[in-house]
Chains A and B, each alone.
Chain A
Amino acid sequence: MAAGTGNGRTISGTFAAVRGWLLLPSWLTIGFFLLIPVLLMLVYSFLTKEFRGGVIWEFSLSAYDQFLFDRGLFGDDPPRIEWTYITIFGRSIAQAGGATLFCLLIGFPTAFFIATRSSHTKVIWLFLITIPYWVNLLIRTVSMKFLIRDNGPLNEGLLWLGILDDPVKLINTNFAVQLGLFYSYLPFMVLPIYASVERYNFVLSEAASDLYAPKWVILRRIIIPAVSPGIIAGCILVFVPSLGAFLAPDLLGGAKTFMIGSLIEEQFKGNAGNWPFGAAASMILLSLVLIVLTFYARAQSRDQV
């Protein structure tokens, strides 16, 4: 530290000697708590299932085989394409995609509104956005269940107002799962977009307007491209956790149809007790997420050029 800044070195140059070590805590944490578990999962996905949970240390492709091929109830039919798990993954991707879309539709105007307030009202709006998230996700999901059940306040209220004649069936539907996901992850969309819009220079919009660009053209050609890093980050932050969610499907969807998260949970915690298959499903999920992130990284690097 004695070097100071007086000798013409940049601030970052001051720390040149230790710079290599600054990431050490992160590397240790990531290595220990992320890479090792993921590698373990990879190894387990290629092991043999033990009867009643656990693994036998023998190489086997049966977990991936089970994912891809349907060999009938008794396991001795000629293999056909297994649609069960593809359906579960498809359903999860559709739910996560829907949640992302709804979050974007509501989150973008909200973020725009907040970012264009005066600096001290901004703080209040941001504060309001985060308040519900002081409460644990589980409790918020259970509360949602109470609100939307057949004889819950939402239905009772609509009946009382005469808007409905019969309670609308919400609980234990895909729509309820969608609602739960959307509600859980909305701030993850609002905050990154807000950060982008905040940095956006509105002089650009004014310039476009002076040149007679219609409002929607300004939005489409100028504002959205300028804040797109925030939009993409928000979409990823909503899509990825939604893909593996199991609280909302469990509590709001009635656990009747599996999503990826509940399928994996069932392999480790539930009746099935098939660890290699759970590990294989996790690896496939991880690969999907990596593909999404790769697209993002590509899009980002294109922007920089």
Chain B
Amino acid sequence: MTPIKTLLAGTAMTLIAGGAAADGQLSVYHWFEYIPQELLEKFTAETGIAVTMDTYDSNEGMLASLKAGRLGSYDVAVPGDYMVEIMAGEGLLDTIAEGELSNFGNIEAQWVDVAFDPGRQHSIPYQWGSTSFSVNRDVYSGDIATTDIIFNPPAELAGKINVLDSQGEVMALASLHLGIPQCSNDRDQLRALDALLQEAKGNWASFGSDIAKDVLVSGDAAAGMIYNGFSAKGREEGANIEYAFPRQGYVVWMDNVVLLKDAPNRDSAIAFMDFLLEPENIAAVTNYAQYAAGVNGVGEFLDPALATMPENNPGADAGPGAFIAVCDEATQRVYDQIWTRLRS
């Protein structure tokens, strides 16, 4: 970008953010390609609140942007499980008072008291799903229920693999592959993790999260780490790809709508959260993104195909699903070091 363009873009963003601070506005910071535009329009039609949305493509990118001064310009964001815990720890989240959400009771029992946000003080469930990888079946027809596909790939797939540009997911899947605990502080295990990634990198073609589906559909990649619903969308776009549930295990995640600290339109944010706890509304997100909601009573609004979708049904021999763990500072420093070495 030329400096002029950067300057213009910056000015435009300031103007938009300034506009969003008025009454009857809601400023959403959201993952890319996730929420259907019609649902936002429905919210505006029902409440008269105009919605502006910016998107991000990684939890870490969202955190960085908020810490770099964007806090106070957004009302709600949609961090993944571990990131809710981190953001709460960083003091970036506002507390939702008891009884403030009239639809709080709609949350499924298993998602009310979660480890990353005990008692749901800052967040409500949005969607949950899994992360592993998908393989183009035209290219490789062998066994894909193993993390070897990414970390020790067969010859057909070597050099044609896309990996998510997300430290948390890559480290978690690599730890499952090695059979070591996440955030291990054992030096031999950390060295093994580093060695594994250094070696596997030679077989990888690209890093990218927002491109994860497109590279599989276009054929740029023959295998790639991906979220389950995103893979389902790729399959529907015509790619002959199969989503794997590896025997070593896979990553489970839940995205959550959080109330940000210093939200310029706190009331609108609460209204939006209540709106998303209505089964019919959150089901619209599920039907679009093809993950799963954490709200009671969505069943009747869901596309029946979702229930039988292969991306939502781990086979009998699938390994356990694991949430991404939040590492302590010392281990995180080593993780950062490993990640930089991986990308250099």
Contact = CB atoms under 8 A, between A and B. Distances in A.
B63 A273 contact: yes
B337 A270 contact: no
A53 B70 CA distance: 13
Interface string B2-15: 10000100000000
Interface stretch (B107-115, B122-130, B186-194, B292-300): B186-194
Contacts of B344: 84-85, 87-88, 257-258, 263
Contacts of A254: 162, 205-208
Interface in B305-344: 329, 332-334, 336-341, 343-344
Interface string A48-89: 000111100000000000000000011100000000110110
A151 B63 contact: no
Interface of A: 33, 51-54, 73-75, 84-85, 87-88, 137, 149-151, 171-172, 241, 247, 250, 254-258, 263, 266, 268-274
A73 B60 contact: no
B166 A271 contact: yes
A269 B340 contact: no
Contact of A269 (B64, B166, B206, B343): B64
Nearest to A82: B344
Given A53-B68, A271-B165, A274-B336, 20 more contacts: A52-B90, A52-B332, A53-B64, A73-B194, A73-B334, A73-B341, A85-B344, A87-B344, A137-B1, A250-B208, A254-B208, A256-B207, A257-B344, A258-B343, A258-B344, A271-B60, A271-B336, A272-B339, A273-B60, A273-B63
15 contacts: A53-B64, A73-B337, A137-B1, A149-B218, A151-B218, A151-B219, A256-B204, A269-B65, A270-B165, A271-B165, A271-B166, A272-B339, A272-B340, A273-B60, A274-B336
Contacts of B333: 75
B205 A73 contact: no
A268 B205 contact: no
Secondary structure type dominating chain B contacts: helix
Contact of B339 (A74, A87, A271): A271
Contacts of A241: 2
Nearest to B201: A256
B54 to A, nearest CB: 13
B64 A270 contact: yes
Nearest to A88: B344
A153 to B, nearest CB: 12
B206 A255 contact: yes
B240 interface: no
A189 to B, nearest CB: 16
Nearest to B190: A73
A171 B60 contact: no
A270 B61 contact: yes
Nearest to A145: B220
Contact of B68 (A87, A247, A268): A268
Given A271-B336, A272-B339, A272-B340, A255 B219 contact: no
Contacts of A257: 343-344
Nearest to A167: B219
Nearest to B337: A73
Highest count of chain A CB atoms <10 Å: which of B166, B207, B208: B207
A255 B207 contact: yes
A138 to B, nearest CB: 8
A285 to B, nearest CB: 15
B53 interface: no
Contacts of B207: 254-256
Interface in B144-193: 162, 165-168, 187, 190-191
A254 B60 CA distance: 19
A256 B63 CA distance: 23
A53 B67 contact: yes
Contacts of B341: 73, 84
Contacts of A256: 201, 204-207, 343
A172 B205 contact: yes
Contact of B191 (A73, A84, A137): A73
B166 A255 contact: no
A52 B206 contact: no
B220 A271 contact: no
Contact of B206 (A33, A73, A172): A172
A236 B167 CA distance: 36
Highest count of chain B CB atoms <10 Å: which of A87, A149, A273: A273
A150 B162 CA distance: 15
B258 to A, nearest CB: 16
Contacts of A54: 67
Contacts of B194: 73
Nearest to A34: B3
Highest count of chain A CB atoms <10 Å: which of B204, B339, B344: B344
Interface string B67-97: 1100000000000000000100010000000
A193 B165 CA distance: 41
Contacts of A255: 165, 206-208
